[in-house]
Amino acid sequence: MENYNLTEEEQALAGMVREFAEEVVAPISYEADRTHTLPLDVVGQMGDLGLFGLPFPEEVGGQGGDYFALCLAIEALARVDQSIAITLEAGVGLGAMPIFNFGTDAQKAELLPDLLAGRALAGFGLTEPEAGSDAGATRTTARLENGEWVINGSKQFITNSGTDITKFVTVIAVTGENNGRKELSTIIVPNGTPGFTVEPAYDKVGWNASDTHPLTFTDVRVPEANLLGERGRGFANFLRTLDEGRIAVGALATGAAEGCLNDAVAYSKQRVVFGEPLSSRQHIQFTLARMQLRVHNARLAWHHAARLCAAGKPFKTEAAIAKLTGSDAAMDNARDATQIFGGNGFMNEFSVARHYRDSKILEIGEGTNEVQLMLIARSLGVS
């Protein structure tokens, strides 16, 4: 991997995670995908390496790094296994980060230590059957009754919500009205709370080793103190989380695109067709060159957005660009790599086949690519 103006510490981190990915994650990726199983022992090892605490200050149990450092780790993992990479991304960005950014001192003290050490995971319940890109269509409700929130509704596509170490889910719910508009707030719901049901896991096209469930809330009661952040600021606060998540998805997609490139280069050199290596064909060379171009551009895009984020500067448009560029690169490289592999590219034991299935969700999750185009256009003043 080229330097890309990384500091010595950043280079060391990226190298360490790449080595971990190749030696620990890659050997079990096919079986985890085949059995639809999140390997919690690997999650624990990631916690031991400090990956879940990367962007948090040391005083709360973190590693004292920043969001750029987290994205370096996500990219390195995604080269070999997108399911493991998204488990880290969601565990930090959707699980721990909202607690750190908006939680009370008591909530931070109770929840952050296990999350940052990788001993626990948490989900974020935003999406519903009728509310995805349009969060204003949220139907899940929460009303105050005798000092408790009573929650009713459902959520779907919630990552890290049903593992054996999932501690809670933060839920966006309608808590009232304000000037005729829905008041949206975020509430912490511990797993195991009566009335909170984690439904059976989805049978997905990809990210098979990632934990994803629909959730149902039937008269779920939690203390009033479980409100996360200011009442009525739930969605506004989530927008910040969403923008950061788009950078992370851009980094994940870059790793996936590079993994496809590396595998395609190696396979084209060893595959002999009509007495010559496949890599001797100019068409294959040009395909590989375009794949490298996509990786390079995707990495530059997420690096730029992440540096702005770490510096405390506006990055909304740059995050959208990073997510769009990266997801396009991952999907295009997965398709090209699969074609280079031929029949083998259709076999799940080869990582390019898994990348081909996995990468499609990168064009949908964390805001569809059409939403990213809308945001970029809006920044140009043409909305």
How confident is the model over 286-340, as pLDDT tens digits?
Answer: 999 999 999 999 999 999 999 999 999 999 999 999 999 999 999 999 999 999 9
The neighbour count for residue 60, using CB atoms within 10 Å, is 16
Residue pLDDT, tens place only, 137-189: 889 999 999 999 999 999 999 999 999 999 999 999 999 988 878 899 999 99
Q: What is the CATH number of domain 8-121?
A: 1.10.540.10
Q: Domains of the chain: which residue ranges?
A: 8-121, 122-231, 236-379
pLDDT at 5 over 90: no
Share of the chain above pLDDT 70, in %: 98
Q: pLDDT category, 3, cuts 50, 70, 90?
A: confident
Closest CA to 126 of 197, 215, 229: 215
- Distances in Å between the Cα of 172 and the Cα atoms of 13, 123, 136, 166, 228 are 34, 11, 11, 18, 10
Q: Tell me: pLDDT of 247 over 60.
A: yes
List, in order, residues 6 or more apart from 166 with CB less than 8 Å away: 120, 121, 122, 123, 160, 191, 198, 211
CA angle 151, 156, 120 (to 5 degrees): 80
pTM for this predicted structure: 0.95
Length of the chain: 383
Banded pLDDT at 133 (limits 50, 70, 90): low
Sign of the dihedral defined by the CA atoms of residues 15, 17, 18, 23, in that order: positive
Catalytic positions, please? Answer: 366
Tell me the pLDDT tens digit for each residue of 7-56.
Answer: 999 999 999 999 999 999 999 999 999 999 999 999 999 999 999 999 99
Evaluate whether the domain defined by 236-379 bears CATH number 3.40.50.150: no
Q: Which range, of 49-53, 129-133, 221-225, 342-346, averages the lowest pLDDT?
A: 129-133
What pLDDT is attached to residue 179? Answer: 80
Do the Cβ atoms of 333 and 265 come closer than 8 Å? no
Tens digit of pLDDT for each residue in 85-96? 999 999 999 999
Radius of gyration of the chain (CA): 21
CATH architecture label of 122-231: Beta Barrel (2.40)
Task: Write down the pLDDT at residue 342.
Answer: 96
Average pLDDT over residues 327-354: 97
What DSSP assignment string belongs to 173-197? EEEEEETTEEEEEEEEEETT-TTEE
